[in-house]
């Protein structure tokens, strides 16, 4: 017997779970919260919301949730549970206080929505206090192992693509060269996807070196048949940020009309796309299922459209490789 594809014959029944978001917000977190709460309720599990992540655990900002608590939130960006980065939780005393509060509320398992830092915190709670947790990958950077895509990535790419489209109008009208900086301190996924979708002439990301020289060589070869250019730069590119690269470009072409656009945190906000809402809903539901099945210390993800649970240690340390086929495609058509 199944209920919405989730097996009813379960290895372990938890009576009460805590749900929280931690680290940077990403569009789709609310959809994940909603799915986790309503899946828990469907199986007579009491869901509790922990506000502001680990900070809320320490300060006992923990409240019961019901179906109405998560009504009309699926379409909003950000997180209704709020989020924070807790320095106190990094200390043993802080974690002890957080564990004490969780046990006071009778919480037997956690659904942790966030990235590497959030996963690490959940791992500490299990190792030190035996509180099991399942992680849901919530980050726009798409840099977590164990899942093809993370919650918020698709929305961030669409936001960046829309910005590139708008900048293109001005670039073409004035014959300008634009360097558009997207988020991605350690990962070039947003840069690659947004650059491809936006028709950029060049993409500079941390995973691929020496792209500035390729950019200059290409700019020289096309003899300016095209009167404007758009280059997408990941903020963590080893060759510099967009401002640095624009200055280097001007050293080669001082006569060019060059501009810089830094998209920044607008990529984190806004209504989540359908893809992010569906992904987040699947992950939230299966995080609860994982706890019911007695799993802990792992993150839930979707790989080739199949649900997969990956140990936290592997998800935290694992290196997610860039899609080389897409990079080859970029080299052929983004010119």
How far apart (Å, rounded) are the C-alpha atoms in residues 223 and 201? 14
> No. of H helices and E strands in the chain?
11, 13
CB distance 168 to 198 below 8 Å? yes
Is 141 assigned a catalytic role? yes
Cα 21 from chain centroid?
A: 12
Residue tagged active-site, from 25, 141, 154, 237:
141
Copy the structure tokens of residue 317. 């340390």
Q: How far is CA 82 from CA 153, 238, 311, in A?
A: 19, 33, 26
The encoded tokens of residue 99 equal: 């564990």
Buried b (16+ CB within 10 A) or exposed e, 35-60: bbbbbbbeeebbbbbbbbbbbbbbbe
The residue ranges of DSSP E strands in the chain, in sequence order, are: 2-3, 6-7, 16-21, 46-50, 62-64, 109-114, 133-137, 177-182, 202-204, 229-234, 258-262, 298-303, 306-311
Whose structure tokens read 């209504």? Answer: 271
| CA separation for the pair 244, 238 (Å, rounded) | 11
SS3 223: coil
Chain centroid offset of residue 254 CA = 38
Rounded-to-5 percentages of helix, strand, coil across the chain: 45, 20, 35
Measured over the CA atoms of residue 208, residue 179, residue 275 and residue 76, the dihedral's sign is positive
Torsions phi, psi of 111, nearest 5? -110, 110
Q: Catalogue the active-site residues.
A: 141
């Amino acid at each position: 017997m199944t209920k919405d594809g989730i097996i009813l014959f379960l290895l372990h029944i938890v009576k009460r779970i805590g749900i929280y978001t931690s680290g940077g917000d990403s569009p789709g977190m609310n959809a994940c919260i909603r799915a986790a709460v309503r899946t828990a309720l469907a199986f007579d599990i009491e869901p509790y919301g922990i506000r502001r992540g680990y900070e809320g655990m320490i300060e006992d900002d923990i409240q019961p949730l019901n179906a109405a608590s998560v009504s009309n939130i699926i379409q909003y960006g950000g997180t209704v549970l709020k989020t924070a980065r807790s320095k106190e939780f990094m200390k043993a005393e802080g974690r002890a206080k957080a564990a004490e509060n969780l046990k006071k509320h009778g919480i037997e398992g956690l659904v942790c929505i966030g990235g590497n830092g959030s996963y690490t915190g959940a791992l500490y709670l299990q190792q030190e206090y035996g509180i099991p947790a399942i992680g849901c990958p919530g980050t726009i950077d798409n840099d977590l192992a164990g899942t093809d895509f993370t919650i918020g990535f698709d929305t961030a790419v669409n936001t960046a693509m829309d910005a590139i489209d708008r900048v293109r109008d001005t670039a073409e009208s004035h014959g300008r060269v634009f360097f558009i900086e997207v988020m991605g301190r350690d990962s070039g996924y947003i840069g690659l996807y947004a650059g491809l979708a936006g028709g950029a002439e060049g993409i500079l990301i941390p995973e691929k070196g020496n792209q500035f020289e390729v950019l200059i060589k290409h700019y020289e070869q096309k003899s300016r048949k095209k009167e404007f250019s758009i280059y997408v730069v990941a903020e963590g590119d080893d060759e510099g940020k967009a401002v640095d690269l624009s200055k280097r470009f001007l050293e080669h072409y001082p006569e060019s009309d060059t501009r810089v656009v830094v998209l920044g945190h607008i990529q984190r906000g806004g209504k989540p796309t359908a893809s992010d809402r569906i992904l987040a809903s699947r992950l939230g539901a299966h995080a609860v299922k994982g706890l019911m099945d007695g799993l802990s210390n792992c993150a839930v993800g979707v790989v080739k459209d199949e649900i997969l649970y990956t140990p936290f240690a592997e998800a935290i340390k694992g290196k997610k490789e860039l899609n080389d086929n897409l990079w080859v495609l970029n080299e052929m058509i983004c010119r």
